[in-house]
Amino acid sequence: MKIQEFFDLAKAKGVSEAQIQIKKTSSLSMSLFHHEMDNYNVNDSQNVIACGIVKGKFGSCRTEKLDETAFPFLVDGIIESAGVSEKTETAELFKGSEKYHKKNVFNKELGLVPVEKKIALLHLIEEGIFAYDKRISEVESVQYSEEEIVAEFYNSFGLKLKQKSNYFVLIGAADAKVNDEIKNSWNLFIGNDFTAFEPKPFIKKLGDRVLAKFGGAPCASNKYPTVLKNTVFSDLVGYFVGADSSEEVQKKSSFLVGKLNAPIASKKVTISEKPLTKNVFFSYFDDEGVSEYNKDIIKKGVLLTYLYNRETAKKDGVQSTGNAQWRGDKIGIGFGNIFVKGSKKTFDELISPIKEGVYITEIEGLLTGVNENSGDFSCQAQGFMIRNGKLSEPLNLITLSGNLLKIFADVKGLDDNYEITPDSITSPDAYIKETSIGGK
């Protein structure tokens, strides 16, 4: 299909400006169970999302059916969608940024690694996990997945953008059993350089993680000084940055309303968005075609900016921050490659002043346990007690409750122990003055 035919059809039917994005994905995934390949998946798929302006109104439509019916379906869909819009502002598409910071993040070597080598790696990991400790009772799964994505962006002003990327993910999940007590955990690696993966540390981390959980029990319900493991703090950071959406702020649905340029967190907190970081989450244009750039969101506790697309930026009289992202049928706000600045302290130094506290290593249920409007949250948690500056007995089946604004205001320290999550948030461990822990 020639993209120009889409623009010609759109113009002929009265769509004054149009945009079309095509995403082609090829993927492979496979998993082992009991030394046998029990699952092998491959796919090649495409999806298209198009939008346009009809008499000053914005409309959109999507399809995965790329035959001769696709362009008429998309154009008619745009017209129908624009026809019912009741937005009062005149909509317009973006002509293009002056400069784009394109980088090559595609690693062609990944696709050239023979499948047999990837399968052999899975066997190696599975055997390594079983052999790690006698208490390991089951390897639930070891899974390898890889994906190659080509994202293309075109608009009727002649703007053409393209990004090709690939990555692989290795996941291991294991159970350990002592008498009737069963524990499980997992580990994950994401990257696009197959040679950079080291099985031994991966296996050790998983094994240590699951074995450390034995004997876990609830502590007494109370308020405790709390250290959040980097990945746990990242989860909270994700919701905090989500509340920085200018759309949520403009619609009075965010706890960050009226907080721009105000101190909203401890001076120890600096959070940046760096979409141009050369990793698997790299992105150089957003869903309106605006050039993305690195920026501080919170610097030394002060909120420096909301995240904008063009529509919300216009309302506030500022420029888009390159954070446009499709949300259903409209272009909303999103983010990627978030970095939380740490310190030179080690983890041991971070927890050393805590006489009695908790170290939270995993949380569950945040998806439904966060009130994104107020910032209140409550979720299931596990971890360890901290006694006299050192990790002590394991904790299980406790709850962690708090308010995001309060948590970020109460950050007493961060360490040098960074980890990146699949949500593209990189954070160190964080020491919080106190949180509410529910247990016995």
Partner 1 sequence: MLIFACPNGGNQMISKKLAIEVLNECLATGGDYAEIYLEDTRSESIRLENGSVESSGKRESYGAGIRILNQLKSVYGFTSDLSKKSLLELAHKLAASFSGQRIITVTSVETEPVATINPIIDHLADVPAAEKIQYLKECYAITAAVDKRLVRIQDAFVDSIKNIEIFSAEGIVAKQYENSEERGRLVIVSVAAQNGGIESYFIGPGHFAGWSWFTKVLDYKGIAKKCGEKAVMLLSAQECPSGRFPVVITNGWGGVIFHEACGHSLEATATAKHLSVFSDSIGKQIAAPIVSAFDDGTMPNEWGSNNIDSEGHLTQKNQLIKDGVCVGFLVDKFNGRRLNMSANGCSRRESYRYEPTSRMSNTYIAPGKDKPEDIIRDTKLGIFVANFGGGSVNPTTGEFNFSASEAYIIRDGKICEPVKGCTLIGSGKEVLMNIDRVGDDVGLGEGICGSASGSIPVNVGQPTIRLKEITVGGRGGKLQ
Q: Which of residues 216-255 bind partner 1 (CB under 8 A)?
A: 218, 221, 251-255
The pair of structure tokens assigned to 113 is 């690694």
* Residue 379 within binding range of partner 1, rule CB under 8 A: yes
Q: How many helices (H) and strands (E) does the chain have?
A: 11, 20
Rule CB under 8 A: is residue 111 a binding residue for partner 1?
no
Q: For the segment 4-33, give every residue that binds partner 1 (CB under 8 A).
A: 33
Beta bridge partner(s), residue 263:
302
Ramachandran class of 161: left when φ > 0, alpha when ψ lies in -120 to 50, beta otherwise = beta
Q: Are 331 and 288 in contact (CB under 8 A)?
A: yes
Judged by CB under 8 A, which of 5, 38, 109, 193 binds partner 1?
38
Which ranges of 65-114 would DSSP assign to H, the alpha helix? 70-84, 108-112
Smallest separation (angstroms) from partner 1 to the CB of 157: 22
Find residue 173's DSSP bridge partners.
141, 186
440 binds partner 1 (CB under 8 A): yes
Between 47 and 294, whose beta carbon lies closer to partner 1? Answer: 47
Element (H, E) at 45: strand 36-54
Q: Which range touches partner 1 (CB under 8 A), out of 6-14, 75-83, 190-198, 265-273?
A: 75-83
The least CB distance from residue 51 to partner 1, in Å, is 9
Write the DSSP assignment of 364-412 as a string of letters. E-HHHHB-TTT-EEEEEEEEEEEETTEEEEEEEEEEEEEEHHHHHHTEE
Q: Decide if residue 39 touches partner 1 (CB under 8 A).
A: yes
Position 399 contacts partner 1 (CB under 8 A): yes
CA R_g for the chain: 24
Residue 180 CB, nearest distance to partner 1 (Å)?
10
Cβ-based nearer residue to partner 1, 56 or 438? 438
Give residues 120-179 in contact with partner 1 (rule: CB under 8 A). 138, 140, 175
Q: Does 182 bind partner 1 (CB under 8 A)?
A: yes
Could you say which of 110, 142, 155, 183 contacts partner 1 (CB under 8 A)?
Answer: 183
Residues 301-360 that bind partner 1 (CB under 8 A): 328-330
Residue 157's identity, in one-letter code, is F
